[in-house]
Amino acid sequence: MGWLARAWINIARRPRRSIILFGVIFILGCAVTAAVSVSNALLNLPGRAQNIPVAVTIGVDLDRFSESLDEVFEYPNITYELLSNIATLPQVESYDFSILTSLIDLDENLLHYAPLLATENEEMPGTHLADSVFLIKGVESTTPLDIVEGHIGITQGRMFTEAELKNHTASIIISEGFARVNSLGIGSRISLSKLAWSSSGSYSDADFMARVDTSIHDVVHQRSFDFEVVGIYGLHTEFNTGDPDWDYYMMVEASNFIYMPNTVARDIDDWFYQNMATLHSDDPWYATFIEGLHNFQNIFVLRNTSEIGDFRELVREISPPFIIVIDPRENATIVNQQLEELENLTAGILAVITIAATSILTLFVVLDIRERKKEIGIYLALGERRGKVISQALIELLIIALIAISASILVGNFFADNLSQSILQSDLEQAISAGLQDPLGGREYFERSLSMIGITPAVVAEEIVLAYDTSLSVSIILVIYTIATATVLLSTIIPMLYILRLNPRKIMM
pLDDT at 126: 40
8 A C-beta contact, residue 251 and residue 239: yes
- Helix (H) / strand (E) element for 235: namely strand 219-235
pLDDT of residue 221: 93
H/E element, 340:
helix 333-371
What angle is formed at CA 24 by the lines to CA 22 and CA 29, rounded to 5 degrees? 90
pLDDT given at position 127: 40
Q: What pLDDT shows up at residue 438?
A: 46
Quote the pLDDT of residue 157.
96
Strand partners, 117: 124
d(CA 364, CA 394): 14
Beta bridge partners of 234: 153
Residue 115's pLDDT is 78
- Please tell me the predicted confidence (pLDDT) of residue 123: 37
Partnered with residue 135 across adjacent β-strands are 102
- Cα–Cα distance measured from residue 117 to residue 302, given in angstroms and rounded to the nearest whole number: 34
What does the alpha-carbon distance between residue 404 and residue 277 come to, in Å, rounded to a whole number? 79
How far from chain centre, in Å, is Cα 245? Answer: 22
pLDDT tens digit at each of 509 positions of the chain? 565 566 666 666 677 777 877 887 787 777 777 777 777 776 666 554 555 557 888 888 777 777 766 554 566 778 888 888 999 999 998 888 888 899 999 888 899 998 765 444 433 334 434 478 999 999 988 988 888 878 899 999 999 999 999 999 999 999 999 999 999 999 999 999 999 998 887 778 888 887 766 667 789 999 999 999 999 999 988 776 666 777 788 888 889 999 999 999 989 988 998 899 889 888 877 766 666 666 778 888 888 777 888 999 999 999 988 888 887 666 555 555 666 676 677 777 777 777 777 777 777 777 777 776 676 667 666 666 766 766 777 777 778 878 888 888 887 777 766 766 666 666 556 655 554 444 433 344 455 566 655 566 566 666 666 666 777 778 778 877 787 777 777 777 766 666 656 555 555 55
Q: Are 95 and 145 in contact (CB under 8 A)?
A: yes
- 347: closest CA among 47, 25, 40? 40
* 493 half-sphere exposure, CB direction, 13 A CA radius: 9
Of 289, 299, 291, 296, nearest to 325 by C-alpha is: 299
Buried b (16+ CB within 10 A) or exposed e, 379-397: bbeeebeeeebbbbbbbbb
Diameter over CA atoms, the chain: 119
Compute the 3-state secondary structure of the chain and give helix, strand, coil in percent, each to the nearest 5: 55, 15, 25
